[in-house]
Amino acid sequence: MLGNAIRILKGRFQKKEYINRLENSSLIRTSKDQNDVISLITSEMRTFGYKVSQEKNFIRAEKNRFGTLGTSIFHLSIQIDGKVAATDIVYSNHLMTYGGYTFLGNVYGMAPLLILRNEDGSVISGSYVTASDTDDSKRYVAMFDIGDTGLEGGLMVYMTANLTSGNIVEGDVEQTPVLFLKIFDRETEIFDGKLGLNDAVQIDDKYLVFSDVKYWSNFYVVKDDGTLLVYAGFGLITLSLTIMFFIIPKRLWAEIISDEKTGVTEIYIGGRSDRFRSLYEEEYCSFIDHIKERFSNGTD
């Protein structure tokens, strides 16, 4: 998760094909010179509080970019001199104690690894998607974004095994993961199917591959005399929630294309917010209205 957050922090420019797939996207035409258009748009982006980067005819703008780290702050690890200090099975109602600390199992689930690849097999992005069992059915579900494609996915994953006539014990049964996947483009379902391990589904010129699956567990670490740690934990949670709910990463992309024959400059603009996307639509529309006001002959 931290690696994915850092990748988003670095940011990149996007072409009109990606911009047009965003929930909030616009096309504006004007007779103004390309350089004048770029100057005007970057000026408006800064007026709305965005940090702007430009490369040739591409523009990228970001606001509250460090808000992407909000979720990662929730995840901590404990390491003692790089060696295993104690080991035990931690599950509901079974506690593990070490050095005065109590490890309490809380939430667990499965995490399928989904990798987005190009046609040549090179990796674009990938991550383990933490899926949870919400109804004690041993089926784990989750919703997630598919890289920077602007698409969203929903999945259900569980372990299955073939029936056999042999006499075997439960621990000897070989299980394989099964993943049911749905893909949505702006809430329109474009794929609904089943994937086995190492199966792939094609998305335009890319492939989404079901590469691996792991179990995950979330647990509390408790120490009765660790008052300072408890308060520090509350402080960390408060900081995380503040980042997640009040420092919302927002991004704008633009590609400006001039046609010398017609003298028309086309401006492809799109934006998205990591959270509260319906509220972001108002800010985006206000930004577009300001752009159009500065183009006397601008049309959508």
CATH number for the domain that contains residue 31? 3.30.310.80
Which of the listed residues 174, 200, 217 is the one where a domain comes to its end? 217
Q: Do both 116 and 204 map to the same domain?
A: yes
Q: Which pair of structure tokens corresponds to residue 200?
A: 């792939």
Determine how β-strand 206-222 pairs with β-strand 176-185.
unpaired
d(CA 60, CA 39): 13
pLDDT exceeds cutoff 80 at 2: no
Q: Out of 5-14, 18-27, 222-231, 268-277, which region has the weakest mean confidence (pLDDT)?
A: 222-231
Spatial contact of 207 and 116, defined as CB atoms under 8 Å apart: yes
pLDDT exceeds cutoff 70 at 22: yes
Q: Do both 117 and 206 map to the same domain?
A: yes
Q: Is residue 178, in this structure, part of any structural domain at all? A: yes
Q: Is residue 57, in this structure, part of any structural domain at all? A: yes
Q: Is residue 154, in this structure, part of any structural domain at all? A: yes
pTM of the model: 0.44
Which of the listed residues 197, 217, 237 is the one where a domain comes to its end? 217
Q: Do both 204 and 256 map to the same domain?
A: no
User: What does each C-alpha distance from 232 to 97, 189, 223, 238, 239 come to in angstroms?
Assistant: 21, 44, 13, 10, 10
Q: Is residue 159, in this structure, part of any structural domain at all? A: yes
Q: Out of 29-38, 53-62, 101-110, 148-157, which region has the weakest mean confidence (pLDDT)?
A: 101-110
Q: Do both 213 and 114 map to the same domain?
A: yes
Q: Is residue 229, in this structure, part of any structural domain at all? A: no
Q: Which residue has the higher pLDDT, 118 or 138?
A: 118
Q: Would you give the DSSP letter of residue 299?
A: B
User: What does each C-alpha distance from 168 to 96, 164, 172, 173, 259 come to in angstroms?
Assistant: 31, 9, 6, 7, 72
- How much is the pLDDT for 241? 74
Supply φ then ψ for residue 43, to 5 degrees.
Answer: -65, -45
- DSSP string for 178-201: EEEEEEEETTEEEEEEEEETT-EE
Number of domains in the chain: 2
Which of the listed residues 217, 240, 270 is the one where a domain comes to its end? 217
Spatial contact of 14 and 253, defined as CB atoms under 8 Å apart: yes
Q: Do both 133 and 182 map to the same domain?
A: yes
- How much is the pLDDT for 152? 94
Instruction: Tell me the per-residue pLDDT of 45-102, one tens digit each, with 9 for 90 and over.
Output: 999 999 999 999 999 999 887 777 666 665 544 444 445 455 555 555 566 777 777 7
Tell me the Cα Rg of the chain: 24
Q: Out of 198-212, 232-246, 258-272, which region has the weakest mean confidence (pLDDT)?
A: 232-246
d(CA 234, CA 229): 9
d(CA 298, CA 292): 6
Supply φ then ψ for residue 89, to 5 degrees.
Answer: -90, 125
Q: Residue 51's domain spans which residues?
A: 13-64+248-294
